[in-house]
Amino acid sequence: MVNSRETLDLTSFAAPAGSVVDWQISDSPVDYAAATALMEARAAAIAAQEAPELVWLLEHPPVYTSGTSGKPEDLRDPRFPLVPTGRGGQVTYHGPGQRVAYVMLDLKRRRPDVRAYVAALEEMIIRTLDAFNVRGERREDRVGVWVRRPDKGDGFEDKIAAIGVRLKRWVTFHGIAINVEPDLSHFQAIVPCGVTDPRYGVTSLVDLGLPVTMADVDVALRQAFEGVFGATSAALAETG
């Protein structure tokens, strides 16, 4: 079933006139706890109007994270650390080959609607995938973006991108993760996002047969972000 978020009006998420969003890329894996601390500090500065909004692109070393709906039994094999986190959602995996985009926006200045914001993130992912001729879709009972897999059987679908957000004082942080070329076997150690139906798995752009690089995805992601949320600044210096 297609998610009813398809019908939401997303045009009002554009930035206020004259403002742009900082765009930052880290070229080396960033520890998850360190990234969370930096996000929280930046979100507080944005809420206080002491810093511009930010999109931060990065990869993490292999780690499992558990959101506010996570269950201990969703970790089947503790091959990597499990880190509790305040984002929404359940247990997921982050690691090399996955493009994580942490999105820090002031919804009070844009549109204070969490449901519509999640739909806007989905739209950003769908547009990014479309740049590679991949059709990403929303689902009524499953957050994230999915691709149909008729090659695996009738009704089979794989998740290609995850979403988990948190807000403080109407400033967003955490964000999305698009599977570019991660080791998909690492997802076998968890119940990804609590989905147990065997028809629903996990895939990546490379798994779908697309020789896509992280740089390719970054270009498409930025274009998609600007189409939904508005202008970004010149990329900030990459951080290690």
How high is the pLDDT of residue 17? 80
Say how far apart CA 112 and CA 103 lie, in whole Å.
Answer: 15
Closest to 47 measured CA to CA, from 227, 170, 211: 170
Written as tens digits, the pLDDT of the chain (240 aa) is 445 556 666 667 888 787 899 999 999 999 999 999 999 999 999 999 999 999 999 999 999 998 877 788 888 888 998 998 878 778 889 999 999 999 999 999 999 999 999 999 999 999 999 999 999 999 988 889 999 999 999 999 999 999 999 999 999 999 999 999 999 999 998 887 667 788 999 999 999 999 999 999 999 999 999 999 999 997 665 555
Active site residues: 193
How high is the pLDDT of residue 10? 65
The conformation of residue 88, written as its DSSP 8-state character, comes to S
How high is the pLDDT of residue 38? 97
Backbone φ and ψ for 19, nearest 5 degrees, come out as -105, 150
Say how far apart CA 231 and CA 229 lie, in whole Å.
Answer: 7
- Is residue 181 within 8 A of residue 88, CB to CB? The reply is no
Say how far apart CA 237 and CA 16 lie, in whole Å.
Answer: 25
How high is the pLDDT of residue 186? 95
CA 140 to chain centre: 18
Say how far apart CA 59 and CA 39 lie, in whole Å.
Answer: 14
| C-alpha separations of 126 from 68, 123, 174, 235 in Å | 25, 5, 18, 22
How high is the pLDDT of residue 1? 44
- Is residue 178 within 8 A of residue 98, CB to CB? The reply is yes
Closest to 92 measured CA to CA, from 165, 38, 4: 165
Say how far apart CA 125 and CA 148 lie, in whole Å.
Answer: 15
Which residue carries 């939904």 as its tokens? 228
Strands 236-239 and 200-202, how do they pair?
A: unpaired
How big is the CA angle at 169 (ends 166 and 175), to the nearest 5 degrees? Answer: 25
Closest to 94 measured CA to CA, from 173, 137, 22, 30: 30
Model confidence, pTM: 0.91
